[in-house]
Structure 1
Amino acid sequence: MIDRVQGYYGFTRIPFGRDLAPSMLHQHHSHKEAAARIAWCINHRAIGVFTGEVGAGKTVAVKGAVSSLDPARFTVIYQPNPEAGMRGLYDLIVTSLGGTPKYHFAALAAQASAALAAEVDERGRTPALVLDESHLLDHQRLDAIRMLTNYDMDSTTPFAVLLVGQPTLRKKMKHGVLAALEQRIAVSYQLPTMTKDETASYVKHHLTIAGRSDVLFSDDAIDLIHSTSRGLPRSVNNIAWQSLIAAFTEQKSIVDESSARAAVTETVATE
């Protein structure tokens, strides 16, 4: 089916996919704003909290920001799985920076801290810890991350920390036991959903990089996709692709409102 849809509409690649190079990402306002704040946070070795609804494009914004970093000056350490715990994080830090993790937990924690400092002091590169799905971290682990940033009698931090997660992370940070961590947060940004105009631009962008620069979705189809998706990029991707399939099934040259409505029905039924 995918090949047939691609051939029917003359796509050079499948649109609305996730396998896009950073240079091909859609640059709507909130994405640019998030990427700028992430870059500032990394450059200033600060702690930042970046939240958004499921499918809002948080990881995409991080991907866009870190892709512009000079690898000779920055080392990005990405942890997508909070269930790995602090041992998993310490292991990742040490191995990412070229070391062999120690067995005992206390020694491993000290080793990870030393490796982060050495990356700056000896190699001149700023490490950036990107902790995805951070809303799943408990208070103890969040405070352990804060303790990891202690360096040189707490006067400086040798690396940046990006806590990326769903909006519940912001509420969790207000808990009294995390006051010391909250006070260190230099950047806090809630990624908003796309406006209707941004959704239209987003759809057009993905079609363009797939080889179609002409009008393929009607205005009322875009309106329905936006209202149903609430401007969440991942949901826009799903509904737009299902709309193409629905239009292809009826051999339409334009994805109209009825095709989009069929896609909405299909998408809701499978969720």
Structure 2
Amino acid sequence: MIRSFFGWDRTPFTREIETRHLHRSQRFEECVARLQYMVMTRSIGCVTGEIGCGKSTAIRCLKDQLDANKYRFMYVSDANLKPRDFYRELLHHFGLPPKFLRSEAKRQFQHLVWDLYENQQKVAVIVVDEAHLLSGDMLQEIRFLTNFQMDSVSPLALLLIGQPELQATLQLRVFKPITQRMNVRFHLEGLSLQESRDYISHQLEVAGSTHPVFTTEAMDAIYAHTRGISREINNVCTAALLDAVLRKDKLIDAIHVTRVLSEFKEQ
């Protein structure tokens, strides 16, 4: 509907955008660079940020840039993750049936990671998303991953991704052994006002727009509501575009934005 009305090649503000077309703010570039550093140095690190600020997009960008001949990417996201399930899921990534007991599954995983590193010259890259929801037991298990034979060399990179409360949890004394081994801790913030304007313009350009669609006042109103959180910007812009289509308007001003925001508040 939106694409055909405006005559664009694709619909903007969706999650389907290819990583090569991503808008790269300075803070986003810094985030990806930190992730790349963790991978290259085979270290443990932590990236936090508010919901919808672009953490998952940064991980997707990282994955697309990894050389499959050098790295084995593994992604885990489960709020109720338990240590045994953690190893079982990682072993499934290797296509290996896991042993039933946690201790045996742990040894299986340890052997596979070292075999991958020493015999196949590949580094395991483990991304644990929604890490702020991990239990204390699971965080302690992650401590093991930073511990086995790693004082001399690490066979893997471990990336913890979560909301800001993850940083607060890791500050607890019981988790100090984990934070002491963390080479990188990074917080991804929302976009600034100018970055939000640039983000909206970039999305429209990638979609195939050749002229402005949102007025400056409209973009500023969107920023005031979303605080520069990209997912929220996508939601408001999409709603405003749909409103414009229904009204057959080719230009979206602050009135359109105010109207759709009032509908958001009623939901």
Asked whether the equivalents of residues 56 and 191 of structure 1 are also in contact (C-alpha less than 8 Å), the reply is: yes
Q: What's 1:98 paired with? A: 95
Q: What's 1:28 paired with? A: 25
Aligned pairs for 1:59-70 (under 5 A) are 59-70=56-67
Counterpart Cα distance in 2 of 1:49 and 1:201: 28
Aligned pairs for 1:117-128 (under 5 A) are 117-128=114-125
Q: What's 2:182 paired with? A: 185
Distance 1:153 1:181, change over 3 A: closer
The letter of the residue matching 2:59 is V
Aligned pairs for 1:148-159 (under 5 A) are 148-152=145-149, 154-159=151-156
The letter of the residue matching 2:65 is S
| Cα RMSD, aligned residues only | 1.3
Q: What's 1:175 paired with? A: 172
Q: What's 1:43 paired with? A: 40
Asked whether the equivalents of residues 97 and 119 of structure 1 are also in contact (C-alpha less than 8 Å), the reply is: no
Q: TM-score normalised to the size of structure 1? A: 0.95
Deviations 1:38-67 (A, max 9, x none): 000011011110000011111101111221
Is residue 2:242 matched to residue 1:245? yes
Shift of 1:126: 0.6
Shift of 1:208: 1.3
Q: Paired residue for 1:197, among 186, 194, 208?
A: 194
Shift of 1:153: 6.6
Deviations 1:153-192 (A, max 9, x none): 7432210110000000000001111010110010000001
Counterpart Cα distance in 1 of 2:114 and 2:224: 48
Counterpart Cα distance in 2 of 1:267 and 1:213: 29
Is residue 2:214 matched to residue 1:217? yes
Q: Paired residue for 2:68, among 67, 71, 76?
A: 71
Higher mean C-alpha displacement, 182-191 vs 13-22? 13-22
Asked whether the equivalents of residues 48 and 185 of structure 1 are also in contact (C-alpha less than 8 Å), the reply is: yes
Shift of 1:33: 0.5
Asked whether the equivalents of residues 242 and 267 of structure 1 are also in contact (C-alpha less than 8 Å), the reply is: no
Asked whether the equivalents of residues 45 and 126 of structure 1 are also in contact (C-alpha less than 8 Å), the reply is: yes
SS of 1:160's equivalent? Answer: strand
Asked whether the equivalents of residues 84 and 101 of structure 2 are also in contact (C-alpha less than 8 Å), the reply is: no
Counterpart Cα distance in 2 of 1:153 and 1:195: 40
Identity score, percent: 28
Q: Paired residue for 1:234, among 196, 211, 231?
A: 231
Counterpart Cα distance in 2 of 1:253 and 1:66: 37
Q: TM-score normalised to the size of structure 2? A: 0.96
Asked whether the equivalents of residues 39 and 66 of structure 1 are also in contact (C-alpha less than 8 Å), the reply is: no
Counterpart Cα distance in 2 of 1:80 and 1:213: 39
Q: Which runs of 5 or more structure 2 residues have no equivalent in the other structure?
A: none
Asked whether the equivalents of residues 247 and 256 of structure 1 are also in contact (C-alpha less than 8 Å), the reply is: no
Counterpart Cα distance in 2 of 1:88 and 1:153: 23
SS of 2:152's equivalent? Answer: coil
Alignment: residue pair count? 267
SS of 1:83's equivalent? Answer: coil
Deviations 1:121-177 (A, max 9, x none): 111111111000000012221111111232327432210110000000000001111
Q: Which runs of 5 or more structure 1 residues have no equivalent in the other structure?
A: none
